[in-house]
Structure 1
Amino acid sequence: MTTVLAPVAGHVVGLAGVPDPVFSGGLVGPGTAIDPARRAGEALAPIDGLILKLHPHAYVIAGEDGRAVLVHLGIDTVLLKGEGFRPLACEGARVRAGAPVVAWDPVAVASAGKSPICPVVALDARPGTLTTLLAAGPVRAGEELFRWGGGYD
């Protein structure tokens, strides 16, 4: 069982609340999404593991068991070319759940015309292997978001 923590504080809206059909349709994988608090802060590691990919606006962390979690800071934020984001860790680094990975500003993202909603996705998770701990409502960064049991592809 892998416990996935909220990388940012805000309001859980679920993947259906993501204004991007790739995420809202579950094409990337199952998970949830957080509409972040509108203040600059840090996005945290959702699990213990190795940072496989780190872009200013998104990162993937893989645990010892091979399970990987994607955190995407906003929608279409790749188009901002790093503006409003500052990596605090390095690709290839080992991190503990709750460690800061990226500093970012959701207000700057929204001011640039992009949605700051943050999908948190269990990559390659089989259907029915996630247990939602919080389907909707407020969440603090570092709180349990969902659990990933069973297998993965």
Structure 2
Amino acid sequence: MGSLLTMLAPVTGTVRAMAEVPDPVFAGEIVGPGLAIVPSGAGLVEAIAPVAGKIVKLHPHAFVILADGGRGALVHLGLDTVQLAGEGFTLHVAEGDTVAAGDVVVSWNPTDIEAGGRSPICPVVALQGKAEEVTGLVAPGSPVRAGEPLFEWA
């Protein structure tokens, strides 16, 4: 394929296996494999770019970054958060922008999402990747800090 792509954790929290995400599309890895993170801490959280590349899709609750080599990284902030129509999310970049790994993309408040009855879990997906190409670097159940390597995509 190409070089190994290391995906960084976009938020600080506890790592979960994709199968643990309470959404059939993510749990079934229909859009691709990866890992999810349950954000920790209260208040405003900055979601950072897990890879360097171009923002090809940007919604308040989700974004896709196209990395070198044409691989896409999807970060979804919480489940069913599309229903909020952007409320509680602040965008720091625009579609078409080029970002470095670690750049702030969106700030949001997972506590508010949870208070509204939605899951704040954040799937981090290797879009259209194959399960065997993805190697988790953090075991499910373990803590991870934003910016730390989460998984590798071969």
Match of 2:18 in 1: 15
Return the letter of the residue paired with 1:141: A
Query: What displacement does 1:126 show?
Result: 2.2
1:114-129 equivalent positions in 2, closer than 5 A: 114-129=118-133
Match of 2:109 in 1: 105
Identity %: 55
Q: How many pairs align?
A: 149
Alpha-carbon separation, structure 1, partners of 2:41 and 2:31: 26
Question: Quick one: which of 28, 32, 35 aligns to 2:35?
Answer: 32
Alpha-carbon separation, structure 2, partners of 1:14 and 1:135: 8
TM-score (norm 1): 0.95
Query: What displacement does 1:111 show?
Result: 1.0
Query: What displacement does 1:134 show?
Result: 0.7
Alpha-carbon separation, structure 1, partners of 2:53 and 2:132: 23
Query: What displacement does 1:135 show?
Result: 2.1
Return the letter of the residue paired with 1:21: P
Return the letter of the residue paired with 2:25: V
Match of 1:84 in 2: 88
Query: What displacement does 1:60 show?
Result: 0.1
Instruction: Tell me how large the CA RMSD over aligned residues is.
Output: 0.8
Unaligned runs of 5+ in 1: none
Alpha-carbon separation, structure 1, partners of 2:139 and 2:30: 19
